[in-house]
Amino acid sequence: MRIPPEIAYALVSLTCLGVSDFLYRWGHRSGLKGAPFMLLQNLAYIPTAVGMALLRDELVLSGALGYGFLNGLLAFTGFLLLLYALRLGEAVALVPIVRLNFVVTSLLTIYFVGESLSATKAVAIGLAVCAIIAGGARVTAAARHRRELAMAIGAMLCFGFIGLFYKLGLRSGATPTAMVVAQSLGTFALALPFAIWRRDRLPRRGVQLWLPLICGVLLSASYVALSIAFTHGEAVVVAPIAQLSFVLTGVLAVLLLKEHLTPRKLVAVGCASLAVFVFAQGQ
């Protein structure tokens, strides 16, 4: 079976994001701090995005790149909200809420961009939702703590609007990698003053230095693949697949960190795999 290009690029985005999330989970034991992490990650993100844009000959200035810059502001805000939410609540309860951002993207693109929602796509989206809920135990536990729940919902909305603005920017003439470059500059516009305000020292060696740099490269590659996928297919198809990255993160955690493989995780993997298959069949 030939994989449609939007599915293939969405899977690349999924892989890069899944590995990045795994590295963050692994490095969290080393006492990573939010402000230095986000600044160093962005310092690696920018040259990676620029390099990919030059390689694809897509570093073209356009007014539509304003959507990309706005995405950078949203990405920084979303990651910061998630960071603070996880300090107050459990990841197993909050991360699944954030991962449901593809539902926001799908609804927004259907309404504003005119994308279609067939019965096949609806079934696949339902499977993706089941995969995320199964992958995170006790999602409703977050409802007991309104503050972290509000932060998680805020992060979900930020990431959901990013997908819409990618589609609008690309439709307005922006190139995929140039959009990612603009996003990196938007993120840097907030990451730098935030790091200065927090006054946390930048690490000079060890995991706290190299891990955010690697995550920056992976995150940039993930967004480049995502933006290219949006040029080939609809966000209602691409966004759910990319957000299933948690499955890869979980598999790596089981294999390399010796985390337990529970029945919930097996259900999540099965639903995620089936969702991707249904999306591919529906193209």
pLDDT for 189 equals 95
Using pLDDT thresholds of 50, 70 and 90, give the confidence band for residue 128: confident
Q: Cα 111 to chain center, whole Å?
A: 22
20: which residues sit within 8 A by CB, 6+ positions away? Answer: 214, 215, 218, 219, 222
Looking at the predicted structure, is the pLDDT value of residue 141 above 50? no
Looking at the predicted structure, is the pLDDT value of residue 273 above 80? no
| pTM of the shown model | 0.85
Of residues 57 and 276, more confidently modeled = 57
Using pLDDT thresholds of 50, 70 and 90, give the confidence band for residue 132: confident
Mean pLDDT score across all residues of the chain = 84
Mean pLDDT is lowest, of 72-76, 154-158, 247-251, for: 247-251
